[in-house]
Amino acid sequence: MNFLFPAFLFASAAVAIPVIIHLFNFRRYKKVFFPSIQFLKEVKEQTTHQNKLKHLLIMACRILAVLFAVLAFAQPFIKNNFTTVNKDKQIVSIYLDNSFSMNATKNGVPLIELAKHKADEVIQGYGAATQFQIITNEMTGSEQHLIGKDEALKIVDEIKITPASPFLNEIIAKQKQAISFSGNKNAQCYLISDFQKSELNASAIKSDSDYNAFAAVLSADEQTNLSIDSCWFETPVQTINQQVKLLVKISNYCNHAVNSNRLTLTINNQLKFLGDFNVEANSKKVDTIPFTATHEGWNECVLNINDNPITFDDNYYFSFEVLNKINVLCINGEKENQFLKALFSNDAQINCSNQSASQIDFNHFNQQQCIVLNSLQNVSSGLGSELQKFVKNGGSLIIFPNENMDVNNYNTLLSVLHAGNYGTLINKEQSVTAINHQAEVFKNVFVKLTDNMELPKVKKYFPISSSILMVHEPLLTMKDGNDLMSKFQFEKGNVYVCAVPLNKDYSDFPLKAVFVPMLLKMSFSGIHLNEMSYTIGKNNHIEIPTSTNKTEPTYTLKSKTQEFIPEQMNVENNLYLHVRNEIHQAGIFELTGTADSLKPAIAFNFNRNESDLSFYKTNELEEKLAPLNIHVLDIANKNLTAVVGEINQGIVLWKVCLQLALLFIAIEVLLLRFWKV
């Protein structure tokens, strides 16, 4: 046992007062008038014993009353592991979870309101000199400041639900940062949350013994939820009037199967699909929606399901661009190649143009998605510089060598593009023995690869070498281990290098079935693809090609409910947007500006971490957090103000002592009044 004011214990000497009173009380004598002395001795002895017992009991009550009164003033307490009696200014950091899951209810009351009430109780448990940090999921800069008690109560009362859902380790890092800046080691942290399993991330939390941290767990009544998690296209590039397949991932977080729920797809405010789906209990399902892309340019889309009471994840917004045609430029060393001409002219999705190596218009490069070097004997320094810029910005470059090419000249270009090197011509017949069907250019090309599939045969070739510093991927590999076709990644673009010219004297490559789909996929790989949607609350970095290099902040993101100017930078015909916590409502935002006619649609959705309503129970959370020096509080039917008192001072006993002192005084009064001898 410890005492807050131990000096008061000297007053315990006052217990001598009732002892002295007792001793003097025995010295007093009384005259007894009795008519007969026959039984006088016996009565006298009986009366003396009763008086003695009564006085002893009264003395004991007086001694105990004085003793417990002294102890009450000394304020005894029993220490626990967190007790601090330091009277210096304290720092208290309180995290209040205000994510979507806190909309769930407990006995009809939203958890967010219960959390605010618990935060008020924590604040009331500290003195007026205490400084507080109130932190929520938004983690704004203002939440790093320390504030007084009254302001902390006001801020807690104003907290509302937010779409942000950071991991617990990020929250704790912010708390530590505020405490570290204050320089005060007399600090305590509180975490008030429902502790979803998807957001704990305990492995990333570092144990810290410099201060005490406490977790207050709020539990809701059982909830059920359906969620649209994501969607994607079967093929990444969409062109006008093309039949496309949209794949939609739906999650069921219920303990029972969901049957005949409605799924709809709306594109540009027009209903494109309406159908039912089934999902097994606690499982995920990928559904397919077929439709025709009929609108050229940017398409604004929303998927919807019916689910109550949790609805924030029932809509999934996304956008995609439909191209009229893919622009391919063939730069020819001598004349147009018959195989390339037949390939690109017969595809309605490709707009192919040809230029001679001696008459190249570099101004057309930024309008192309793919450039083909066909049989050039050498590459000029000017062309090499423009090709480097083209690939760097995300374009695709396909190289077919000339049989009389200047190998050193070509290798100068390939070295700049980190795309390997050509060796001297090898006159030896080879055949392709391996197709890298995991490569992007072969995805969804072959239903099944058979052993008797006819692959290209080569009569002579220029070997392609690479180094470990290059991002190299073999596409077609010959028997001797050399590549017939290789892919190299440079910055944002790709370089495809072929070992042979498109000439029958070198190989039958253009005549084989693998040639056409592979070349088409290479052409499409130069298209800049934006994300179909972004997540609200994350640090989103968005890149959009533009036709201007102006750096003024002229671009604005605008939706039906919000408009703001994001952080932006324009570099080499690319606009870079940085969107963090500015967006609070899911939807489609249009990028508008005064610089040009650029108006892409950018979709933002709420974070789906909140969709999984799996929570840690108190005992499970203790196992996770105990090694991290975070103590889980038992707050069931308890006032946190009292819990905070126990944390700061241990088990306080002065009230018990005062009650016992009053009790013994009452017993003394009863003995004096009702015990007649």
**Interatomic CA distance for residues 81 and 422, integer angstroms:** 72
CA angle 278/279/283 to nearest 5° reads 170
pLDDT of residue 578: 93
Q: What percent of the chain has pLDDT over 90?
A: 48
**Interatomic CA distance for residues 652 and 86, integer angstroms:** 16
**Interatomic CA distance for residues 70 and 67, integer angstroms:** 5
- What string of DSSP letters covers 134-164? EE-TT--GGGGS-B-HHHHHHHHHH----S-
What is 326-524's CATH topology?
Rossmann fold (3.40.50)
At 216, give phi and psi (nearest 5°). -110, 115
Give 621-651 pLDDT, tens digit per residue: 888 888 888 888 878 778 888 888 777 766 6
What integer is the mean pLDDT of 77-98?
A: 72
Q: 3-class DSSP state for residue 272?
A: strand
pLDDT of residue 85: 47
Top-ranked range on mean pLDDT: pick from 62-76, 372-386, 447-461, 536-550: 372-386
Q: Residues 498, 400: contact at Cβ < 8 Å?
A: yes
CATH number of 226-323: 2.60.40.10
pTM score = 0.75
Give the residue extent of every domain in the chain. Answer: 2-79+657-674, 91-222+614-649, 226-323, 326-524, 534-605
pLDDT of residue 617: 85
Torsional sign, CA 195, 201, 207, 210: negative
pLDDT of residue 87: 45
Give 114-162 pLDDT, tens digit per residue: 999 999 999 998 888 899 999 999 888 889 899 999 999 999 999 999 8
**Interatomic CA distance for residues 375 and 396, integer angstroms:** 17
**Interatomic CA distance for residues 179 and 185, integer angstroms:** 7
Considering only 197-201, 302-306, 335-339, which range has the smallest mean pLDDT?
197-201
Of 159, 223, 168, nearest in space to 190 by CA: 168
- What's the distance, CA 634 to chain centroid? 28
What's the pLDDT band for 230 if we cut at 50, 70, 90? very high
Give 190-208 pLDDT, tens digit per residue: 999 999 988 887 777 877 7
**Interatomic CA distance for residues 313 and 316, integer angstroms:** 7
Same fold, 226-323 and 534-605: yes
**Interatomic CA distance for residues 450 and 188, integer angstroms:** 67
Q: 3-class DSSP state for residue 648?
A: helix
Residue labelled with tokens 């499409």: 524
Of 534, 544, 666, 527, nearest in space to 598 by CA: 544
pLDDT of residue 450: 61
What's the pLDDT band for 553 if we cut at 50, 70, 90? low
What's the pLDDT band for 342 if we cut at 50, 70, 90? very high
What integer is the mean pLDDT of 289-318?
A: 92
**Average pLDDT for the chain:** 86
What's the pLDDT band for 236 if we cut at 50, 70, 90? confident
Give CA separation, 260 vs 63, 226, 477, 535, in Å. Answer: 80, 13, 49, 29
Of 672, 651, 668, nearest in space to 660 by CA: 668
Considering only 8-22, 248-262, 268-282, 313-327, which range has the smallest mean pLDDT?
8-22
What integer is the mean pLDDT of 341-357?
A: 90
Considering only 293-307, 409-423, 565-579, which range has the smallest mean pLDDT?
565-579
Domain 534-605 homologous superfamily, CATH: Immunoglobulins (2.60.40.10)
pLDDT of residue 651: 67
- What's the distance, CA 632 to chain centroid? 23
End-to-end CA distance of the chain: 41
Residue labelled with tokens 């995609």: 320
Give CA separation, 433 vs 426, 452, 476, 481, 512, in Å. Answer: 18, 11, 8, 9, 14
Tokens of 130: 């205490």
DSSP state of 102: G
User: For domain 91-222+614-649, which architecture applies?
Assistant: 3-Layer(aba) Sandwich (3.40)
Q: Residues 434, 467: contact at Cβ < 8 Å?
A: no
- To the nearest 10°, report the CA torsion of 264, 270, 273, 275: 40
At 556, give phi and psi (nearest 5°). -130, 140
Give 483-516 pLDDT, tens digit per residue: 999 999 999 899 999 999 999 999 999 999 899 9
DSSP state of 615: B
Residue 82 has pLDDT above 80, yes or no: no
pLDDT of residue 32: 57
Residue 454 has pLDDT above 80, yes or no: yes
* Cis preceding linkage at 309, omega within 30: yes
